[in-house]
């Protein structure tokens, strides 16, 4: 189970952070716990909405959305939660609502005997507010009083009974979160403009994306550099030619569709009939609507919506139409800009079989299914929904960077591992 933990203190030295760090390392057998920091979030102010551009907030929103549950460790300040935690919760209940229907466990540590009991009661009330709407784990109060004496020099809780009680509470929370998640309704995905009629910051305007010569015209319009001109990347400097050599030598087919749903790039070095998912040079610049047959628009909308809204970071689907000698997987990976905003989809299509074969040979292992050794067993794994193949369509400019059918709703959680 994948949990995230919110430390309700912005102090550098915090007992609540210590408690969460202890939970993350001590109860690894129950879940993975990633800690989220509220320290750098701005103070909530309704007049200055940071919900769409504050990187820390956007990342926090996504991580909560993708988690199976949340643990909040609250300190107690003046008989309630800290101003910083309250402010964070206001951000998370204004334009963004990641805690909606999310199983949440409350616990806390304080300097004195009370162990943050009053703050925890307030926090439970806040989490029940309509804008937050979390599913709060009932009972099982974990109040760590006298926090200063509670930890040893390595950050471990010193009292074995406390460690045991905490384990019992967390074990029950894992069960609770599993049940609560299955009851929660999946968030609707936003309606996507697959025709790419809008624009994003990098859209090359005034050139018809769906035209066959978009690539030439758009390059001219923006004076796109090429050949031996150097480009400065995040950490490195390459010429455009070197960048092409590099991308073309990747053992996978790469496709880039931007946040405006425009198909901008693929690592073109093969003819379409040689590719795992057929792409043709004239498709570059087209909208996702143009490169998909109409019958799959619903699925494309569903997938792009999930990635854009941050509900998932990646979706994978096995495309079984390549026969038993290949295990072709289409991976749809959300991309984010330097401010944490959705920047489109990186679709990479990869035949995993050579990698698995190499791994088995290197390690001397073999595949076993239900206790019986298999040869090509994994290649014959059950196929996903009949049409879940992005390269399957080829009408007009067709052949597409997205799946053709929405797999079962809960297929996404497995896909985000």
Ligand X SMILES: Cc1cc2nc3c(=O)[nH]c(=O)nc-3n(C[C@H](O)[C@H](O)[C@H](O)COP(=O)(O)O)c2cc1C
Minimum Å gap between C-beta 9 and ligand X is 3
Residue listed under structure tokens 């299509």: 349
Cβ proximity to ligand X: between 15 and 266 the closer is: 15
Q: Which residue, 19 or 291, has its beta carbon nearer to ligand X? A: 19
Q: Least distance to ligand X from the beta carbon of 141, Å?
A: 14
Nearer to ligand X, 61 or 84 (CB): 84
Query: In which residue are the tokens 């929405």 written?
Result: 406
Question: Rounded to the nearest whole angstrom, what is the least distance from the CB of residue 144 to ligand X in the complex?
Answer: 10
d(CA 413, CA 348): 19
Exposure string for 370-404, b = 16+ CB within 10 A, e = fewer: eeeeeeeeebeeeebeebbbbbbbeeebbbbbbbb
CB closer to ligand X, 17 vs 397: 17
| Min CB(70)–ligand X separation in Å | 17
CB-wise, 14 or 54, nearer to ligand X? 14
Where do contacts with ligand X occur on this chain (CB under 6 A)?
Answer: 9, 11, 14-16, 75-79, 110-112, 114
The secondary structure of 77-112 as a DSSP string is: BTTB--HHHHHHHHHTTTT--TTTT-EEEEEEE-SS
In the bound complex, what is the minimum distance in angstroms from residue 299's beta carbon to ligand X? 46
Q: Does residue 214 contact residue 285 with C-beta atoms inside 8 Å?
A: yes
Rg value, the chain, Cα: 25
Sheet of 314-319, strands arranged across: 263-266, 253-257, 342-351, 328-336, 314-319
* Minimum gap (Å) between residue 332 Cβ and ligand X: 39
Distance (Å) of CA 304 to CA 209, 349, 407? 19, 17, 13
User: In this complex, which beta carbon is closest to ligand X, that of residue 74 or of residue 262?
Assistant: 74
């Amino acid at each position: 189970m994948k949990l995230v933990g919110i430390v309700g203190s912005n102090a550098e030295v915090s007992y609540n952070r210590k408690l969460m760090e202890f939970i993350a390392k001590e109860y690894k057998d129950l879940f993975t716990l990633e800690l989220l920091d509220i320290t750098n979030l701005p103070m909530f102010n309704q007049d200055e909405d940071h919900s769409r551009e504050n990187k820390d907030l956007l990342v926090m929103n996504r991580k909560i959305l993708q988690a199976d549950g949340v643990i909040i460790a609250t300190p107690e300040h003046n008989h309630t939660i800290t101003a910083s935690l309250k402010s964070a919760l206001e951000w998370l209940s204004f334009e963004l609502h990641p805690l909606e229907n999310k199983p949440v466990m409350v616990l806390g540590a304080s300097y004195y005997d009370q162990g943050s009991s009053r703050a925890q009661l307030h926090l439970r009330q806040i989490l029940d507010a309509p804008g937050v709407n979390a599913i709060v784990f009932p009972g099982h109060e974990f109040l760590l009083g006298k926090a200063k004496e509670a930890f040893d020099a390595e950050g471990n809780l010193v009292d074995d009974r406390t460690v045991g009680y905490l384990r019992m509470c967390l074990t029950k929370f894992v069960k609770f979160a599993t049940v609560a998640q299955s009851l929660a309704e999946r968030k609707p995905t936003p309606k996507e403009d697959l025709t790419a009629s809008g624009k994003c910051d990098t859209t090359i305007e005034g050139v018809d994306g769906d035209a066959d010569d978009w690539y030439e015209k758009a390059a001219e319009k923006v004076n796109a550099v090429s050949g031996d001109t150097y480009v400065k990347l995040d950490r490195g400097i390459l010429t455009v030619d070197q960048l092409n050599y590099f991308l073309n030598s990747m053992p996978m087919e790469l496709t880039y569709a931007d946040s405006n749903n425009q198909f901008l790039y693929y690592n073109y070095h093969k003819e379409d009939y040689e590719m795992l998912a057929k792409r043709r040079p004239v498709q570059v610049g087209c909208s996702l609507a143009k490169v998909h047959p109409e019958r799959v628009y619903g699925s494309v909308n569903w997938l792009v919506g999930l990635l854009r809204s941050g509900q998932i970071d990646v979706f994978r689907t096995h495309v079984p139409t390549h026969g038993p000698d290949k295990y072709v997987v289409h991976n749809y990976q959300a991309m984010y800009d330097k401010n944490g905003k959705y920047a489109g989809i990186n679709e990479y299509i990869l035949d995993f079989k050579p990698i698995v074969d190499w791994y088995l040979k290197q390690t001397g292992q073999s595949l076993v299914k239900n206790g019986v050794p298999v040869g090509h067993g994994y290649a014959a794994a059950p196929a996903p929904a009949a049409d879940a193949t992005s390269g399957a369509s080829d009408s007009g400019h067709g052949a597409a960077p997205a799946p053709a059918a929405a797999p079962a709703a809960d297929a996404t959680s497995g896909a985000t591992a």
